[in-house]
Amino acid sequence: MKVSKIRMGLVGGGEGAFIGVVHRMAAELDGLITLVCGAFSSSSDRSKRSGAEIYGLPADRCYGSFAEMIEQESQLAATERMDFVAVTTPNHVHYEVAKKALDAGFHVMCEKPLSFSVKEAQLLAQQVADSGQLFGLTHNYTGYPMIKEARELIRSGAIGTVRRISIEYIQGWLSTAEESTGENKQAEWRTDPSRSGAGGCIGDIGTHGENLAEYVTGQSVSALCADVSTFVKGRQLDDDVNVLLRFANGAKGVLSASQIAVGVENNLTLRVYGEMGGIEWQQMEPNTLIVRWPDRPYEVRRTGGTGLSSQAEDATRLPAGHPEGYLEAFALLYRNFAQAVQDRKNGSVQPSSAYDFPSVDDGLRGMKFIDAVVNSSSQGAVWVDLD
Amino acid sequence: MKVSKIRMGLVGGGEGAFIGVVHRMAAELDGLITLVCGAFSSSSDRSKRSGAEIYGLPADRCYGSFAEMIEQESQLAATERMDFVAVTTPNHVHYEVAKKALDAGFHVMCEKPLSFSVKEAQLLAQQVADSGQLFGLTHNYTGYPMIKEARELIRSGAIGTVRRISIEYIQGWLSTAEESTGENKQAEWRTDPSRSGAGGCIGDIGTHGENLAEYVTGQSVSALCADVSTFVKGRQLDDDVNVLLRFANGAKGVLSASQIAVGVENNLTLRVYGEMGGIEWQQMEPNTLIVRWPDRPYEVRRTGGTGLSSQAEDATRLPAGHPEGYLEAFALLYRNFAQAVQDRKNGSVQPSSAYDFPSVDDGLRGMKFIDAVVNSSSQGAVWVDLD
Amino acid sequence: MKVSKIRMGLVGGGEGAFIGVVHRMAAELDGLITLVCGAFSSSSDRSKRSGAEIYGLPADRCYGSFAEMIEQESQLAATERMDFVAVTTPNHVHYEVAKKALDAGFHVMCEKPLSFSVKEAQLLAQQVADSGQLFGLTHNYTGYPMIKEARELIRSGAIGTVRRISIEYIQGWLSTAEESTGENKQAEWRTDPSRSGAGGCIGDIGTHGENLAEYVTGQSVSALCADVSTFVKGRQLDDDVNVLLRFANGAKGVLSASQIAVGVENNLTLRVYGEMGGIEWQQMEPNTLIVRWPDRPYEVRRTGGTGLSSQAEDATRLPAGHPEGYLEAFALLYRNFAQAVQDRKNGSVQPSSAYDFPSVDDGLRGMKFIDAVVNSSSQGAVWVDLD
Amino acid sequence: MKVSKIRMGLVGGGEGAFIGVVHRMAAELDGLITLVCGAFSSSSDRSKRSGAEIYGLPADRCYGSFAEMIEQESQLAATERMDFVAVTTPNHVHYEVAKKALDAGFHVMCEKPLSFSVKEAQLLAQQVADSGQLFGLTHNYTGYPMIKEARELIRSGAIGTVRRISIEYIQGWLSTAEESTGENKQAEWRTDPSRSGAGGCIGDIGTHGENLAEYVTGQSVSALCADVSTFVKGRQLDDDVNVLLRFANGAKGVLSASQIAVGVENNLTLRVYGEMGGIEWQQMEPNTLIVRWPDRPYEVRRTGGTGLSSQAEDATRLPAGHPEGYLEAFALLYRNFAQAVQDRKNGSVQPSSAYDFPSVDDGLRGMKFIDAVVNSSSQGAVWVDLD
């Protein structure tokens, strides 16, 4: 028997934001979650306007601050109040919002990178561990069916021990001083160390790459050597990074992240080669997974195709050839998160690790990765360990 | 000021159906529509079960027949009852549902092909014209941003008079007698002339091709010569069709539709060449539009890219490189339809032609196209006119 | 033990020609053939100039006419004189050159289409049959390794009975009146019925498509219905053709040939679907063969890859990933033809059918195909049989 | 007036070799060069057998050693003897052959990498400088038309100052101990430090990447940090390398070379991003150059297309859409080299730098690059300067 929908409160996502609406669409796609309230702006008026115009929310559920939202919602009936908070603000606010939400007993879904600093990340991880509450991190690229397929293939041992991992995440949208045009809020905060934290490009997109590589291969980066650059004059954070990687199992690799690759849209690519096979995947053609073998033609596995792993099938909503995209992958994280919340409601308490969505620990790991990259580079691009 | 959501009632889409959930996801994606009721089965119990399990609907809004749904909903308060009916049943039921819904004053969104027969299509078109109500047809492939871009490019005259139009829509899923396995309801009704009508493959997917070609080019098929085949033994309807096309402006073309192209997923391809340029688009890479010129390198226009037509921009939800897919395109039809319903609610009555979604007239045209193809072939693949 | 090279005489290929040098490069690529003489122009001076500048030939082996070449070469010692004549003139001269060469006891390699008319083709086929001499036709696209692979796959029965065959050969270079610029000899004769024969586009490239489809599938076109167009004003021959095809085994298909697809380079595509699998190949990515199956991911077979048919391997010169192109495929016809000539020299007389290169009978079939297409269209695009 | 062909002598390329025949085909493709002699084996008999069977050469021009070849050919008449020596042996023999050939007054075309050691490379570079003789190095990938186009585009300033350079050259053929099968001579010497030198994968293919990047961008690597791996047990040389790069102008980059990327054929990829545009090229689709811009759709420039640079046009032999491949690119180096030799014959003495083929100085640079990579890695993957 179907129960009522999980209720979501959104922090961030007001006028000029991009990712707020994405969260709304992704969360609601599978019919399990409904947005019930939000703190869309630090001005109560603007929050109510955004709430109405963008999200169709009534004024009394649009708050002038996240603190107010948490406080007010806490006082609503259990059948009315939000079940979890989605944090979509710039990085420097993540911690504060998440902490307060957890304090008040709400579960949390948070944008990446987890926080402003490693310190904050550690505190959050501890709080989640202590409280036992649910915490998801929107490393959304893990939600693609073909990423599930790649992961299961590697996990099955079919390609043998992983040897070589290439990750690339390049874009071109910051190849000029977009942050100085006065018209691009996204560029402004992402290039501002007081809002983004220590990493620019490496924090914004590099961590997606690190997370995806570790998720798919099951291997973790043990050491790295990073050369971090800022090509656009006056910019305060990195906009181009190349990193040599060593993995715990002996695999080697390289991660490139750039936002000055002129004209490139959003090219996240993962390639993994083991002793007996390899996989190649590109985010801009997400429904295709190339699988290579030493002694026969390469295969092209496709979302919705026959003979895929059950994990890939579960992540698929449409028949083969009906392209699924970014929102659908994003929605998968919310679907799995909703399941976890629902299980709690049904009295079944399982840890986040029982579900397939990125966790606060992944977020902490990502923050350490950013830190290691920045440290490596600031010392002259030397090797640093990542525990 | 945001108003409340448009309310949708769904006919069809119960257990084992595919397209019902697609309609739900597509309709709700942009936050303008909410599913409030449905007739998911001819058994009241099964309808309620589907409603609860698949759609999360309360039992009192899940009806045992579309007739009951229309009757009961009509008696609800104006602020409660559904605003429109989405018809997602097999073809032979479209007419009856749509007619009754229109009779009761509801707008209608209907699956393609419009009806079981040309006769039914004519009646529906007449009823829509007479009633002034809104009627949309889910030729969903028209909703892709790059289809909008192609259309505007051609409309602008940039490629000159259109000369050559190639349309292909091929699949492989019916290359064996899938309808006889007892496990594929989709295959069963699509190959059954008592439920599908005169066309099998040509009705199911060929009409998508015809509609898309006419939508993008602004040209209409004036005559055709069709060779229709049934390759799978025992099948009662066509599973492979090749059609020579002549267009009103003198352009020539060819349309191929097949469901026995083994291993092909859902390959809808449109290519148009004019005197001064050409466009090429493939549904399985929908965010890419190739634009060819006589004297310079070809361009690759991409969803979310710079310098696109406003129509393409309006149809886009995400930045470039964040793939949009089938559901997003489908949702665009619902977004435009919701706007039309909303305008009516706001007292602004404009005809369907003021909006960008396929109409009942497109549906009638599609039925005539199916008819012409079947007639051409049954007479030995001779030329027949299409008015 | 290696013997000396086969000696080739070239007719055509003077200044402004394109295909003559292609024949020279292709013929010599494998080190089995050497160009020794030519009739490059009807002016003796120009012939000698072309011979020296383009081909590095001594003046005494550059003739002012093919008749002179045949006569003079016949008088040279057997170890000196050419072994065969390559005919690369416009179509209306093929017959005369080939006939005289055969009369004089030379083998012949001839450009496609075979001749100006079906009548000439019949005479040539008869002469070849009577004389027992070798005759090759440069349907060069059959020389690609992946075409061999596709052919062997189908021949092996792996994809079952062939049902659907799509052939497309489209170009854009004649989308304007290129023949009227006074600067394009290639365009001039190809659009001139007194030099090309009854077919324009259908003869120039359509026959490549027909030949390739029949070669790969082993099926022959039994009937066709063609809609032939001339889009460029003032042009005397067709520049765009769409043809419905029926094959002897019951397969259906469509062939499109166009030279007004603006901006398209040289897109020859073949797709074949059988009961149990399918293949897809594109000339502009010739080293890739897609093989589709009903129940597993599609394979991408590649030139030089492992596990290919011996026929594909034999046609390959380089390791996988070292692209082979048009010249290499063209050269394969010459390599096989050279083998046949060499066998004759070694006293082993086998018919042309013992070797893998297109024959005079393929050429006759191509001429009948052109004729059928033109006849079908001139009667209003009706069905005509092709024996 | 055409003069007689340049005469080539080949060292290496006997039975079991791969690259010898490639040199023969490439050298002869444009009709400017003819192979006249060779030292194909250290056994006189085997050399004569290879000469006859593979190359069709008479026994008296097939020598049992390169020393014999150089000596004997020196004594032939100027109109008979070879003009230059092509060195296609394993690396450890390059120096000796090249030195002796230069000593004897022959020009030299040499396989990459230039030599066994930096020391040898320095000696050769000095000898070439002192003698004024011609010396070419077969970094064959520079011969592709689209590489010329990319180079000219960057040289023109159209993409502004170069910022980011990604080079990748990955293969899979050494992912197992192929050198231990006893059946792969190519694998044996390439993994043997006594024949290959200090670099395995980095020398065999990494230097192609370095050379191509510097050739196309006009920028030189000034420092690097390399992580070199050997994944296959028992192998004595590297089979996987990742290198961070810094260029003299401030650009950053990364070079990956691997021979253990299972199933990957021969994937050499170059991507360059400047302030105002970018280019992307892949060797396995060599006729395509993607050109990206900040504010408009990306362009796809194609070999043979209109509006290309004269350098790209000069490097093209066929109309657009007629794929040119590896051999054609390779042949361009020989064509340019033949021109240089011919100019010498005609009394016009110009330095190698006046021609477009890789030089001995490029070869020296490549050897220093290998050295730097190996040194960087052996010191723990630290930064080393490259002058």
B214-263 per-position pLDDT tens digit: 999 999 999 999 999 999 999 999 999 999 999 999 999 999 999 999 99
How many residue pairs from chains B and D have C-beta atoms closer than 8 A? 35
Residue C18's pLDDT band, with cuts at 50, 70 and 90, is confident
CA dihedral C329, C330, C335, C340 (to 10 degrees): 120
Decide: residue A306, CB within 10 A, 0-12 exposed, 13-18 middle, 19+ buried. middle
D229 contact residues in A (CB cutoff 8 A): 163, 252
Region A226-230: mean pLDDT is: 98
C253-295 per-position pLDDT tens digit = 999 999 999 999 999 999 999 999 999 999 999 999 999 999 9
Is C322–D323 a contact, with Cβ atoms under 8 angstroms apart? Answer: no
Instruction: Tell me the C-alpha distance between D211 and D365, whole Å.
Output: 8
Residue of C nearest to D23 (CA): C29
Q: Of B1 and A384, which is predicted with more confidence?
A: A384
HEC letters along chain A: CCCCCEEEEEECCCCCCCHHHHHHHHHHCCCCEEEEEEECCCCHHHHHHHHHHCCCCCHHHECCCHHHHHHHHHCCCCCCCCCEEEECCCHHHHHHHHHHHHHCCCEEEECCCCCCCHHHHHHHHHHHHHHCCCEEECCHHHHCHHHHHHHHHHHCCCCCCEEEEEEEEECCCCCCCHHHCCCCHHHHHHCCHHHHCCCCHHHHHHHHHHHHHHHHHCCCEEEEEEEEECCCCCCCCCCEEEEEEEECCCCEEEEEEECCCCCCCCEEEEEEEECCCEEEEECCCCCEEEEECCCCCEEEEECCCCCCCHHHHHCCCCCCCCCCCHHHHHHHHHHHHHHHHHHHHCCCCCCHHHCCCCCHHHHHHHHHHHHHHHHHHHCCCCEEECC
B321-349 per-position pLDDT tens digit = 999 999 999 999 999 999 999 999 999 99
B312: Cα within 13 Å, side-chain hemisphere: 25
Is D264–A278 a contact, with Cβ atoms under 8 angstroms apart? Answer: yes
Q: In Å, how far from its chain's centre is CA A208?
A: 6
Question: In A, residues 139-178, which contact B (CB 8 Å cutoff)?
Answer: 171, 173
The shortest CB-CB distance from B261 to any of C225, C273, C276 is to C273
Cα angle A369, A372, A378; round to 5 = 140
Coil, strand or helix: which one is B347? coil
Region A165-177: mean pLDDT is: 98
Report pLDDT for B1: 41
Instruction: Tell me the C-alpha distance between B249 and B231, whole Å.
Output: 34
Whats the size of chain A, residue-wise? Answer: 387
DSSP class of residue D206?
Answer: I
The shortest CB-CB distance from B297 to any of D294, D295, D300 is to D300
CA dihedral D33, D36, D41, D44 (to 10 degrees): 180
Instruction: Write down the residue that tokens 């179907």 correspond to.
Output: A2
Instruction: Tell me the C-alpha distance between B36 and B27, whole Å.
Output: 12
Question: In C, residues 19-48, which contact D (CB 8 Å cutoff)?
Answer: 21-22, 24-25, 28-32
CB D287 within 8 A of CB C327: no
Residue C3's pLDDT band, with cuts at 50, 70 and 90, is low
A6-20 per-position pLDDT tens digit = 999 999 999 877 889
For the residues of D138-161, what is the DSSP string, one character each?
--GGGGSHHHHHHHHHHHTTTT-S
The H-or-E segment that residue D310 falls in is: helix D310-314
For the residues of C95-119, what is the DSSP string, one character each?
HHHHHHHHHTT-EEEEPSS--SSHH
**Which subunits count as partners of chain D given 3+ CB pairs below 8 Å?**
A, B, C
Is B381–C271 a contact, with Cβ atoms under 8 angstroms apart? Answer: no
Q: Calculate the alpha carbon distances from B122 to B66, B105, B203, B365 in Å.
A: 22, 19, 17, 10
Query: Is residue C238 predicted with pLDDT exceeding 90?
Result: yes
Instruction: Write down the residue that tokens 């009534």 correspond to.
Output: A58
HEC letters along C39-91: ECCCCHHHHHHHHHHHHCCCHHHECCCHHHHHHHHHCCCCCCCCCEEEECCCH
Is B5–A31 a contact, with Cβ atoms under 8 angstroms apart? Answer: no
Instruction: Tell me the C-alpha distance between D253 and C50, whole Å.
Output: 49
Could you tell me whether strands C288-292 and C278-282 are parallel, antiparallel, or unpaired per DSSP bridges?
antiparallel
Helices (H), B104-170: 118-131, 145-155
A22-38 per-position pLDDT tens digit = 999 999 999 999 999 99
D302 contact residues in B (CB cutoff 8 A): 297-298
**Which subunits count as partners of chain A given 3+ CB pairs below 8 Å?**
B, C, D
Does any CB of chain D come closer than 8 Å to the CB of residue B233? no
Residue of D nearest to C323 (CA): D325
Question: In C, residues 320-339, which contact B (CB 8 Å cutoff)?
Answer: none
Report pLDDT for A1: 41
Q: Calculate the alpha carbon distances from D73 to B295, D70, D97, D269 in Å.
A: 51, 5, 14, 41
Beta-carbon count within 10 A of B18 CB? 14
Instruction: Tell me the C-alpha distance between D323 and C240, whole Å.
Output: 23
Report pLDDT for B3: 59
Share of chain A above pLDDT 70, in %: 99
C301 contact residues in A (CB cutoff 8 A): 297
Beta-carbon count within 10 A of B307 CB? 12
B291 contact residues in D (CB cutoff 8 A): 297
Instruction: Tell me the C-alpha distance between D175 and D181, whole Å.
Output: 13
D159: Cα within 13 Å, side-chain hemisphere: 32
Q: Which of D170, D222, D242 to mutate to test the interface with A (most CBs of A within 10 A)?
A: D242
The partner residues of B242 in beta bridges, in order of sequence, read: B227, B256
Region B47-64: mean pLDDT is: 95
Does any CB of chain B come closer than 8 Å to the CB of residue D296? yes
The partner residues of C35 in beta bridges, in order of sequence, read: C8
Instruction: Tell me the C-alpha distance between A44 and A104, whole Å.
Output: 21
Report pLDDT for C16: 77
Cα angle D356, D358, D363; round to 5 = 160
ipTM, two decimals: 0.96
Beta-carbon count within 10 A of B100 CB? 18
Instruction: Write down the residue that tokens 């098929």 correspond to.
Output: B221
Region B164-190: mean pLDDT is: 96
Q: Which of A281, A306, A308, A313 to mutate to test the interface with C (most CBs of C within 10 A)?
A: A306
Q: Which amino acid is at B46?
A: R
Coil, strand or helix: which one is C317? coil
**Which subunits count as partners of chain C given 3+ CB pairs below 8 Å?**
A, B, D
Is C172–B294 a contact, with Cβ atoms under 8 angstroms apart? Answer: yes
Q: In Å, how far from its chain's centre is CA A175?
A: 23
Query: Is residue D3 predicted with pLDDT exceeding 90?
Result: no
**Which subunits count as partners of chain B given 3+ CB pairs below 8 Å?**
A, C, D
Instruction: Write down the residue that tokens 């990195």 correspond to.
Output: A238
Residue A54's pLDDT band, with cuts at 50, 70 and 90, is very high
Instruction: Tell me the C-alpha distance between B228 and C255, whole Å.
Output: 16
- CB contact set of B182 (below 8 Å; sequence gap of 6+): none
Q: Closest Cα partner for B376 from B252, B225, B199?
A: B225
Is C266–D1 a contact, with Cβ atoms under 8 angstroms apart? Answer: no
Question: Edge-to-edge strand order for the sheet containing A33-39?
Answer: A33-39, A6-11, A84-87, A107-110, A135-137
Q: In Å, how far from its chain's centre is CA A106?
A: 20
B298 contact residues in D (CB cutoff 8 A): 299-300, 302
Question: Edge-to-edge strand order for the sheet containing C107-110?
Answer: C33-39, C6-11, C84-87, C107-110, C135-137
Coil, strand or helix: which one is B158? coil
Using left for φ > 0, alpha for ψ between -120 and 50, and beta otherwise, residue C105 falls in: left
Instruction: Tell me the C-alpha distance between D97 and D195, whole Å.
Output: 14
Q: Which of A153, A224, A230, A242 to mutate to test the interface with D (most CBs of D within 10 A)?
A: A242
The shortest CB-CB distance from A260 to any of D260, D273, D298 is to D273
C53-112 per-position pLDDT tens digit = 999 999 999 999 999 999 999 999 999 999 999 999 999 999 999 999 999 999 999 999
Is C273–B383 a contact, with Cβ atoms under 8 angstroms apart? Answer: no
CB B258 within 8 A of CB C292: no
Coil, strand or helix: which one is D71? helix
Beta-carbon count within 10 A of B310 CB? 9
Residue of D nearest to A161 (CA): D231
The shortest CB-CB distance from B297 to any of D294, D295, D299 is to D299
Does any CB of chain A come closer than 8 Å to the CB of residue D278? yes
How many residue pairs from chains A and B have C-beta atoms closer than 8 A? 121
The shortest CB-CB distance from B31 to any of A2, A24, A284 is to A24
C4 contact residues in D (CB cutoff 8 A): 56
Query: Is residue C1 predicted with pLDDT exceeding 70?
Result: no
Residue of A nearest to B19 (CA): A318
Using left for φ > 0, alpha for ψ between -120 and 50, and beta otherwise, residue C354 falls in: alpha
C297 contact residues in A (CB cutoff 8 A): 291, 299-302, 305, 307
DSSP class of residue D231?
Answer: -
Is B325–A323 a contact, with Cβ atoms under 8 angstroms apart? Answer: yes
Coil, strand or helix: which one is D25? helix
**Tokens describing residue A275:** 């002793």
Instruction: Tell me the C-alpha distance between A161 and D134, whole Å.
Output: 48
Could you tell me whether strands D288-292 and D278-282 are parallel, antiparallel, or unpaired per DSSP bridges?
antiparallel
- CB contact set of D375 (below 8 Å; sequence gap of 6+): D384
Does any CB of chain A come closer than 8 Å to the CB of residue D304? no
Residue A387's pLDDT band, with cuts at 50, 70 and 90, is confident
Query: Is residue A154 predicted with pLDDT exceeding 50?
Result: yes
Query: Is residue D29 predicted with pLDDT exceeding 60?
Result: yes
Q: Which of A165, A175, A269, A382 to mutate to test the interface with D (most CBs of D within 10 A)?
A: A175
Q: Using a CB cutoff of 8 Å and minimum separation of 24, what contacts does A300-304 make?
A: A300/C297, A300/C298, A300/C299, A300/C300, A301/A146, A301/A149, A301/C297, A302/A146, A302/B265, A302/C297, A303/A144, A303/A145, A303/A146, A304/A145, A304/B265
Is A300–C297 a contact, with Cβ atoms under 8 angstroms apart? Answer: yes
Is B171–A321 a contact, with Cβ atoms under 8 angstroms apart? Answer: yes
CB B145 within 8 A of CB B233: no
